[in-house]
Chain A
Amino acid sequence: MPESSKMKKPDVKVVLLGDMNVGKTSLLHRYTEKKFKDTISTVGGAFFLKQWGPYNISIWDTAGREQFHGLGSMYCRGAAAVILTYDVTNWQSLAELEERFLSLTDTANLDCIYAVVGNKADLTDPKAQRPQETDVVSEDRTECEEDQTEPQVTSACPTPPASPASLSGLMLHQQVTHEDAVAFYGRILRYKGLDENNSLPAEKMCFETSAKTGYNVNTLFETLFDLVLPSILRKRNENQESPTVDLEECRGATGKRSRSACC
């Protein structure tokens, strides 16, 4: 095969899971494009390659119907990190994670790490309302400033009031608390048969984000990338003689957990 045709082999795989409309695509878009725009609904899974230093990180954005289509295992196979995403204004979206999405992660790497991410924090948390990260481009402001008079809890596109003045009256109640998420994280560990003491702590792995304002988005992805680096390095070492890694093979290859190395 000529050199040029070789696919940049991804070193590590990250999967975004969660119900329709919780904002998975928006999160990824915010992270990769530094923008928030009304995305068109995801069809099936979307595969992205992200350069992270010298590493290629592949990210699967999924549609929310994986279980129905039987594709969840395919998206998750060999994953080093799974981002379980819910909508902080929609309690059901957290319940769905447990009921429908957690079991899809059975094909993930044994040392896969799990992040529980409550998105749309701008709807519930004043501190997530204003762009907080340096890379938030000002053009987005216009997009954020559309006004909406009524709170839409389960709507497809809940757009909160942008001006603090109108906020007071319309502040939505946080329907999913941080404690709910932490408790769910504990149940993930139990589901996976992991010992809480040897695993990444819930404090570190439960995030609240806003794709809309950018709040915590970079932190989320970069924390995860940093955490999966050891797994990349390990894989590189194991595959010294064949530098192109087959994602399909990497799962069974490493059974042993090296989690302690990263935290």
Chain B
Amino acid sequence: MVTHRAHHLFGTYSEGRDQPRPPSILIGRLNLSSEIPDVCCGIAPDVSAVHQSDWDGIMERDNHQEGEAQGVKICDPPSESNPLAHTLATSLSLLGNHMFPDQVERNDSGTANKEETVDSFISDITAEEPSLDAESHSNQVTKLDTEETENPECQNIASTQPTDGGTEDAADNDQSDSGEFVVTMLAKAKLEEQGLGVKGRSSPLLEAGTQECPAFITHREEDVTADSWRQHRKHVFVLSEAGKPIYSRYGSEEALSSTMGVMMALVSFVQSGDNIIRSVYSEEHTVVFLQKGPLVLVCVSSSRQSEQQLRGELLYVYYQIISMLTQASISRIFEHKKNYDLRRLLAGSEKILDGLLNLVDSDPSFLLAAVHCLPIASSLRDSLSQILQKAITPNLVFSILIAKNQLLTIVQEKNVIEDSRLEPADVHLLLNLIGASSAFQAGEIWTPICLPLFNPDCYFYAYISYLDPPECTVCLLLLSTDKEAFYAVAECKRKIEEAMVAQNSLSLIAKAHSYSVSQVGVSDLRHFMYKPFDVPDNYRQLTQFTSPEMEAPYSSEEEKMRLLDLYRYMHSRIHSTSRPLKLIYHVAERETLLAWVTSKFELYTCFSPLVTKACAITAITKLLRWIKKEEDRLFIRYPPKYSTTPNPSKSSRSGKSDQQDSTDNGFLSLL
């Protein structure tokens, strides 16, 4: 198993890594003081009962999964005595802390026993007019509409979130301010609870609540900063459990401290009831919380993305922080000093987090949890891999070649990664790091980096160097477990450089580019994203996806973002925890989209709006054939390996020593 292996070679695991919380955690009524109206968390509506028969034969659904999702979202019914609470009730679903990483897996297992072919898909979709948007209708829906006239932008997407079917009838009208209201209410609740000296552990969070909340509440109306601040599509904040600001995507943490204070109040409030706050919805914003160890991450988004997606993005932010400091160090730091100002260690790294968030918004790799590789002839890819394979030194574990921010090839060490693979999220973090360090391209970078999914507690040492200065599009990334190995690893680069000169690789790479969708030869197809679950031969390897260039009409940044938003919407429907779908045919105003997930792949396609369903189906058949034909070019098929650690215990030792990253002077002196 991956984790065990990693454990062995790179030192000890801190326990509690990704420990999924038992799904049964949760969630009673929040313990508000008596003056405060009860706020209830939503219940996943039992839409399956309502619509079951309608959906039969139209859409394959995974009832098993649905049951599971409902099992998790056990919630109290709202208090009858409190009408206010009804309007707020949709907002809080209080779940355990495991999310995003399981998403694909669950989906996978849900469909695993079903062998799907294009043919069966055709019969499914042609059999009836599918309604793909049943959730957006109220429980009273009796007949199925197609989605054809709907624009997802106009829908109340929040209603696809687990809302309380039984109690929510009145909620819609008054919903506009509920999110804010919840925030305000809870903040107040916190204060009052404190004022009353209510029992419970004295959480350091409480301090944040007292200091910051009154300011927020009284000045919120006039606060110009807060208004302009709201116009951003997506805010991200990171705080320590003690309420110390660590990162804010926009504006300085200080300027926004009142906001941070409210968030802490929210978090601490719910924590004091042993619940973990998950999300707050309003008409315009979704507020998602993620607590990871001593860090609290908050996203305030008007992007209409699903809670899972936003939480997944917060998780990337968390991982990027871990990649710089390791999970173990962060825990140790906060164990020693709850009040520690983590910005002391992250100062200057804000740009790396900014860069990550920009990538998350603009690059579907993050949404798909898969990596994109640059299409090149498999012969070229093989020769590049061989070059990397030959340039090795002890303790080198990964050699990665990147062009135009996409993968060319990855070669990995045999013993270390034997039966594990690099996770896409770790690759994304590496690519982001490279982007962030591109400022000074003449140099060679040597930096500690933790790959949180590989092992959140240990460092690798990354050598980063561009092979084609001054253009700096082709980048070599070598990962070693030995922090002293810079000169040896730099020597590997010289070898690689030399071999690439001999084989004229750079000019061949320069010719490589992403492909046009026109190469597929389907006139109505504008764009697609195809992610196979397991690349041929059952070879466990990096999850990849392929996608053509975004071309007209998606050339402008706005249009690109609009298409991505449509994809995100489709993705959220496909991966909905309450009601996952396998197939969505969605007619929007300016395009028609079709998303389809099977046990073998996940596919998102975008057609011109005039396409007929029959056309779309033929197109997808053609597309799948085309991908099959091109897969050697589109994907890294057979990632090669090398051996640099004949004696695995050696690498284990080096892993151990990396754990004690206080070798120089001890970071505790920083505290």
Q: Chain A interface (Cβ within 8 Å of chain B)?
A: 2, 4-7, 20-21, 25, 28-29, 32, 39-48, 61, 63-74, 99-100, 103-104, 156, 247-248
Question: Known: A21-B347, A43-B433, A64-B348. Is A71-B448 also a contact (CB below 8 A)?
Answer: yes
Known: A6-B494, A43-B352. Is A70-B483 also a contact (CB below 8 A)? yes
Partner of B662, one of A29, A70, A100: A70
A-B contacts besides A44-B445, A69-B448, 8 pairs, CB < 8 Å: A5-B498, A7-B490, A28-B440, A43-B447, A46-B446, A48-B442, A72-B664, A100-B665
- Other-chain contact of B443, A47, A63, A67, A247 (Cβ < 8 Å): A47
- Whether the Cβ atoms of A70 and B439 lie closer than 8 Å is no
Q: 9 A-B contacts, Cβ less than 8 Å apart? A: A7-B494, A40-B436, A41-B349, A46-B443, A46-B446, A48-B443, A61-B443, A68-B345, A73-B664
A72 partner residues in chain B, CB cutoff 8 A? 664-665
Q: Is B150 an interface residue (CB 8 A)?
A: no
**Bound: A232/B491 CA distance, A:** 22
Complex Cα–Cα for A67 and B449 (A)? 15
Q: Tell whether, in the assembled complex, residue B459 and residue A46 are in contact, meaning their CB atoms are under 8 Å apart.
A: no
Verify if B539 is at the interface (C-beta below 8 Å from A). Answer: no
The answer to whether B352 touches A5 (Cβ under 8 A) is no
Min CB distance, A155 to chain B, in Å?
9
In the complex, whether B462 has a CB less than 8 A from a CB of chain A is yes
Q: How far is the CA of A248 from the CA of B345 in the complex (A)?
A: 29
Q: In the assembled complex, which residues on chain B have CB atoms less than 8 Å from the CB atom of A66?
A: 664
Measured between alpha carbons, how far is A2 from B497 in the docked complex, in Å?
13
Q: Across the interface, which residues of B come within 8 angstroms of A70, CB to CB?
A: 448, 483, 658, 660-664
CB distance A46 to B436 under 8 Å?
no
Tell me if B438 is interfacial: C-beta within 8 Å of chain A: yes
How far is it, in angstroms, between the C-alpha of A44 and the C-alpha of B443 when the chains are bound?
12
Closest approach, in angstroms, between the C-beta of B289 and any C-beta of chain A?
27
Does A43 lie within 8 Å of B483, measured CB to CB?
A: no
Report how far A5 CA is from B491 CA in the complex, Å.
8
| Contacting residue for A99 out of B347, B661, B669, CB 8 A | B669
**In the complex, which of the residues B447, B660, B667 contacts A45, with contact meaning CB atoms closer than 8 Å?**
B447
Cα separation A90 to B660 with both chains bound (whole Å): 31
On whether the beta carbons of A65 and B345 are closer than 8 Å, the reply is yes
In the assembled complex, B386 has its CB within 8 A of some CB on chain A? no
A1 CB → nearest B CB, Å: 9
- A residues in contact with B491, CB < 8 Å: 7
Q: Which residues of B contact A67 (CB under 8 A)?
A: 664-665, 667, 669-670
B56: which A residues are within 8 A, CB to CB? none
- Which residues of A have CB within 8 Å of B352? 41, 43
B437 and A47 form a contact (CB under 8 A) = no
For the complex, is B351 an interface residue (Cβ under 8 Å from A)?
yes
Given contacts A7-B491, A21-B347, contact A40 B665 (CB under 8 A): no
- Is B348 within 8 A of A47, CB to CB? no
Q: How many Å lie between the Cα of A32 and that of B306 in the bound state?
A: 48
Considering only residues 636-671 of chain B, those with a C-beta below 8 Å from chain A are: 658, 660-665, 667, 669-670
A258 to B487: give the CA distance in the assembly, Å.
Answer: 27
B195-213 CB contacts (< 8 Å) to partner A: none
Of A61, A64, A69, chain B has the most CB atoms within 10 Å of the CB of A69
B484 interface residue (CB < 8 Å to A): yes
Bound complex: CA A47 to CA B437 (Å): 12
Q: Please, how many angstroms separate the alpha-carbon atoms of A106 and B238 in the complex?
A: 36
B486 is an interface residue with CB less than 8 A from chain A = yes
B670 touches A20 (CB 8 A): no
State whether B446 touches A45 (Cβ < 8 A).
yes
Residues of A within 8 A of B349 (CB): 41
Smallest CB separation, B326 vs chain A (Å): 10
Minimum CB–CB distance from B322 to chain A (whole Å) comes to 14
Q: Restricting to B316-369, which residues have a CB under 8 Å from any CB of A?
A: 325, 329, 345, 347-352
Question: Using Cβ atoms and an 8 Å threshold, which residues of chain B touch A32?
Answer: 442
Contacting residues, chain A, for B448 (C-beta < 8 A): 44, 69-71
Closest B residue, CB atoms, query A155: B252
Q: In the complex, which residues of chain B have a beta carbon less than 8 angstroms from the beta carbon of A103?
A: 664-665
Contact of B348 (CB < 8 Å), options: A20, A69, A74 = A20
- Complex contact B447–A63 (CB within 8 A): yes
The one of A20, A43, A156, A248 that contacts B487, using a Cβ cutoff of 8 Å: A248
Assembly CA distance A21 to B346 (angstroms): 11
| B663–A29 CB distance below 8 A | no
Contact partner, B664, options A61, A104, A156, Cβ 8 Å: A104
Across the interface, A39 reaches (CB within 8 A) one of B440, B660, B665, namely: B440
Please give, as numbers and ranges, the residues of chain A lying within 8 Å of B665 by CB-CB distance: 67, 72, 100, 103-104
Contact present for A156 and B670 (CB under 8 Å): no
Please, which residues of chain B bring their CB within 8 A of the CB of A63? 348, 447
A73–B436 CB distance below 8 A: no
Is B444 an interface residue when CB atoms closer than 8 A count as contact?
Answer: yes
- With A47-B486, A63-B348 in contact, do A68 and B437 touch (Cβ < 8 Å)? no
Nearest residue in A to B326 (C-beta to C-beta)?
A: A69
Q: Which residue of the partner chain, among B329, B490, B494, B662, contacts A47 with CB atoms under 8 Å?
A: B490
Point out the residues of chain B lying under 8 angstroms from A25, CB to CB.
439-440
Between B352, B439, B445, B665, the greatest number of chain A beta carbons within 10 A of the residue's beta carbon is seen for B665
Inter-chain contact B495/A5, CB cutoff 8 Å: yes
In the complex, chain B residues whose CB is within 8 Å of the CB of A21: 347-348
| A146, B329: Cα distance in complex, Å | 39
Chain B residues within 8 Å of A42, by CB: 348, 437, 440
Q: How far is the CB of B656 from chain A (nearest CB, A)?
A: 13
Q: Report chain B residues within 8 Å CB of A73.
A: 663-664
State whether A71 and B664 are in contact (beta carbons under 8 Å apart), knowing that A43-B437, A45-B445 are contacts in the complex: yes
B505 → chain A closest CB, angstroms: 15
- How far apart are A5's CB and chain B's nearest CB, in angstroms? 4
Question: B residues within 8 A CB of A20?
Answer: 347-348
Distance in angstroms from A4 CB to nearest chain B CB is 6
Q: Indicate which residue in B345, B487, B663 contacts A247 across the interface (CB closer than 8 Å).
A: B487
A44: contacting residue among B329, B439, B462, B490, CB under 8 A = B462
Chain A residues whose C-beta falls within 8 Å of the C-beta of B501 in the assembled complex = 4
Question: Which residues of B, 587-607, contact A by the 8 Å Cβ criterion?
Answer: none
Complex-state Cα separation, A44 to B433, whole angstroms: 11
Q: Quote the shortest CB–CB distance from A78 to chain B (angstroms).
A: 10
A20 to B444, CA, bound (A): 19
By beta carbon, the residue of chain A nearest B667 is A68
CB distance from B332 to the nearest CB of A (A): 11
